[in-house]
Amino acid sequence: MIGLMIPDISNTFFAVLTATASRYDDVRSASMPSPSEVSMRIVITGATSGIGFATARALTAGGAHVLIAGRHPERNEQAADRIRSELPAASIEAVTLDLASLESVRRGAADIRGPIDVLICNAGIVTGSYGTTEDGFELTVG
């Protein structure tokens, strides 16, 4: 249900939303399987710091096998090592791929063994000036 919070109808909207949500109490209270229960393999780009790193750590703690994908091999390994130091049983690996190079993406994808269940596209760059990738795409897009 999508609704607009217009002052004249906000109480009615809230009542309808509450009534609708109460129908799904069994769904909301049902436990979802953890990543380890379904053997999830999750690739995260831009996971060497910030939100990407926190996401990788949380998913690893939940039992997922996480692949940190980034353009700097040493930073990828450092991030994986930091998670391993906090979570010794972590199932994590580092994959080198530069999203600004299709050839690098192909090599990185070839290094990933087995299926990927989830891809979290977290990497990003904002340079403030126009630039292109080696394949000719605008740098902020390619």
Kindly indicate the confidence band of residue 54, based on its pLDDT and cuts at 50, 70 and 90: very high
Strand partners, 68: 44, 94
Q: What's the pLDDT tens digit per position in 78-94? A: 999 999 999 999 999 99
Is the entire prediction scored with pTM above 0.85?
A: no
Indicate whether 106 pLDDT > 50: yes
Q: Which helix (H) or strand (E) holds 94?
A: strand 91-96
Q: Starting at the edge strand that comes first in sequence, how are the strands of the sheet with 91-96 ordered? A: 91-96, 65-70, 41-45, 118-120
Looking at residue 84, what is its pLDDT? 97
